[in-house]
Structure 1
Amino acid sequence: MHAPATRWKTTTATLLRTAAAALLAAVVATGVSAGPALAAGGDVAWTVRTASNSYGAARSSYSYSVNPGGTISDAMVVANRGPVPLNLSVYAADGFTTDAGQLDLVTRDAKSVAVGAWVRADRASVAVQPGKTVQVPFSVTIPDNATPGDYVGGILTSLTQPDQAQGINVDRRLGIRIKLRVGGELKPTLAIENLHVSYAGTVNPFGTGDATVTYTIHNTGNAALSSTQKVSVSGPFGSLRASASEIPASPELLPGESWKVTVPVHDVAPTVRLAATATLTPMLTDASGSVTPLKPVETTAHGWAVPWTLTVLVVVLIAIVVAAILLSRRNRERRKQREDVRVQEAVEQALRGQTA
């Protein structure tokens, strides 16, 4: 059984123009597959898989636990599935998590400081005849001063071919993931940063609205971690709590990486002041593939949820009541003034009668 290999699908292009040459571009295509990875184009097709040895016979990827200063040896098997001979470059590269939550590898011209620097194949290129396979040994050497924790990268095969129709050179990369856990104290830690809640109300003065909760998951430890997520929004003292629908687990983040999250929460009552709470349960994967949930991490932030329609109605109602009170007071004053005038006139008339 062939182990799943890694085909990174990220595409980058660099265009160079000179007076003496036509358009030149470098395109790198890579990605991840669930079965034996195949790179194919025209008459070119090849696969890569893990070698069968003391580490296993059907591994999906490479996974090692090594102490600082340690060295291990392994191999990758390259098979030519096409009708023409292949001459492939072989090298290692550091990994990172893309904005889509997928593992990718840095390009060959980028500097690798971990897996890409510690993994060395016994050759820089490999020639494979049609229908044949070649085993490529490689070694992993951990520096004495390596920081304990998790590192991810890959070992790659690469073929550059010209595309006459597009006037570019296409670099196809096909490789297998390598996960290293360097011995020492493991500190798996996730942090919730920049938690914020905003509210969109409704024209119904007695209805509910939608809240949007945003935050950043930051891997502040030294272990690769994914996490389950829960988000809720409530009014003062935890009243009228509304919870978000099921939220997908975050991708596995490497140490130092961050992941931005936006969560809608429906049926939120406009209680003037809202409290948004995000809860993460970090998930740690060991060398055997077993996943262990860790102590949850929780953070709360506050925001405003003013029921503007109801507020306007209340203001209008208060204005009407105040206006009615003022009008009533004015009418009473006018009646009093008229009564005072009548009394004054009656007094004056009586005094004139006595004089006469």
Structure 2
Amino acid sequence: MPLTTTARRAAAVALLAVLGLAGLGAAPAAAGTAWTVRTAANDFGADRRNYGYTLDPGGSLTDGLVIANPGTAPLRLSVYAADAFTTEDGRLDLLAQGARSAAVGAWVRPSRPDVTVPAGGSVEVPFTLTLPPGAAPGEYLGGVVTAPAGSGERRGIRIRLRVGGELRPRLSVEDPRVGYAGGGDATVTYTIRNTGNAVLAARQAVSVSGVRAGRIGDSPRLLPGESWKVSVPVHGVTPVLRLTGTIEVVPLLTDASNSIAPLAAVRATASAWGVSWGWALPAIAAGCGLVAAFVALRRRRASR
């Protein structure tokens, strides 16, 4: 289910579970890990799960990331910021170090590119978020990441940024299609695209000529510009001559307090023939045979 360009997918490296579907939050200590990260305690709060900011274009702020090393040897880590994206399996991930970021990853600057954390100690790394004057209004996701040299293991904390201005949450349903395989089984496919400037998930409902599909899970949260391909089986469809598939998508907007607000539904339809070719071709052949026999009979009668 492609959500980003091929180049971005190739540049991305999957983060550990702490940066996965559950959200990019502070990494707790776990068996086998060599370091942990948490938000700094300051005017923004203490014991935060992640970073959340509202900032106008041209604005700037400073926060901090605390890195702890419970090991018995000093640990050297790179520190960088990156844009977020949704993976093909619906998880939130961050671009790999060195991949080009266009938003949060480009606007956040750690005070140093790397840090050595003493054994049994911790280090706070300040970072500055500076928005360009022309930053477009809307929601952005990214994160601050730490990683040892030459290792695919990473620890990071999510940044959710709201740039001041009008919020326009919008989803579209694109390329709706209905396929009928016979035996009462139909398939509806479509693409959900985030055409607005807010992070949105989608609640979905699908039917074919009045027959509803089974329960469909909500889509993952999609960043502005991302899309999600969906394929839904619908069983028990009566094979009428023409079938109509109906798709209803309700955008789900999550605010800073994690409250979910459903927005106005978006609908799309698609049609398909309600007969399978495996049944239709013999029927057509039989019909053509009857017509040919009738024409031949008329000709014999006319020649007498």
TM-score, length-normalised on structure 1?
0.73
Name the CA shift for 1:291/1:11 in 2 (closer, same or farther; >3 Å): closer
Q: Which runs of no fewer than 5 residues in structure 2 stay unpaired?
A: 1-7
1:109 aligns with 2:98: yes
2:193 to 215, 218, 227: 218
Report what 1:262 is aligned to.
231
What is the one-letter code of the residue matched to 1:67? D
Looking at structure 2, the residues matched to 93 and 318 of structure 1 have their Cα atoms a distance apart, in angstroms, of: 65
The offset of 1:106, in angstroms, is 1.2
Contact kept? 1:28, 1:172, Cα under 8 Å: no
1:296 aligns with 2:285: no
Structure number with the higher strand fraction is 1
- Can you list the C-alpha shifts for 1:107-155, whole angstroms capped at 9, x where unaligned? 2221111101111112222221121122211121111110001111110
1:37 to 24, 27, 39: 27
Which structure's CA Rg is the greater one? 1
Report what 1:145 is aligned to.
134
Report what 2:170 is aligned to.
189
Name the CA shift for 1:39/1:53 in 2 (closer, same or farther; >3 Å): same
The offset of 1:260, in angstroms, is 0.6
Report what 2:215 is aligned to.
246
Looking at structure 2, the residues matched to 265 and 29 of structure 1 have their Cα atoms a distance apart, in angstroms, of: 34
SS at match of 1:117: helix
Aligned pairs, how many? 289
Report what 2:73 is aligned to.
84
Contact kept? 1:40, 1:46, Cα under 8 Å: no
Name the CA shift for 1:318/1:62 in 2 (closer, same or farther; >3 Å): same
Looking at structure 2, the residues matched to 59 and 273 of structure 1 have their Cα atoms a distance apart, in angstroms, of: 55
- Can you list the C-alpha shifts for 1:176-227, whole angstroms capped at 9, x where unaligned? 111111000111110000111100103xxxxxx1111111111111111101
Looking at structure 1, the residues matched to 91 and 287 of structure 2 have their Cα atoms a distance apart, in angstroms, of: 56
What is the one-letter code of the residue matched to 1:298? R
1:62 to 29, 48, 51: 51
For residues 268-283 of structure 1, what are the structure 2 equivalents within 5 Å?
Answer: 268-283=237-252
- Can you list the C-alpha shifts for 1:35-79, whole angstroms capped at 9, x where unaligned? 75268897x600111122332323221111111111122111111
Q: Which runs of no fewer than 5 residues in structure 1 stay unpaired?
A: 1-9, 14-26, 161-168, 203-208, 235-240, 338-356
Cα RMSD (Å) of the superposition?
A: 3.0
Name the CA shift for 1:36/1:255 in 2 (closer, same or farther; >3 Å): closer
Question: Percent same amino acid among aligned pairs?
Answer: 53
Give the stretch that moved more between structures: 259-268 or 134-143: 134-143
* Higher RCO structure, 1 or 2 (CA under 8 Å, sep 6+): 2
What is the one-letter code of the residue matched to 2:144? I
Report what 1:172 is aligned to.
153
For residues 156-171 of structure 1, what are the structure 2 equivalents within 5 Å?
Answer: 156-160=145-149, 169-171=150-152
The offset of 1:172, in angstroms, is 2.3
SS at match of 2:224: coil
Looking at structure 1, the residues matched to 195 and 29 of structure 2 have their Cα atoms a distance apart, in angstroms, of: 36
Report what 1:341 is aligned to.
none
Report what 1:286 is aligned to.
255
The offset of 1:318, in angstroms, is 9.8
1:95 aligns with 2:95: no
Contact kept? 1:197, 1:303, Cα under 8 Å: yes
- Can you list the C-alpha shifts for 1:6-42, whole angstroms capped at 9, x where unaligned? xxxx9979xxxxxxxxxxxxx9552342575268897
Looking at structure 2, the residues matched to 285 and 124 of structure 1 have their Cα atoms a distance apart, in angstroms, of: 33
The offset of 1:322, in angstroms, is 9.7
What is the one-letter code of the residue matched to 1:293? P
Name the CA shift for 1:302/1:317 in 2 (closer, same or farther; >3 Å): closer
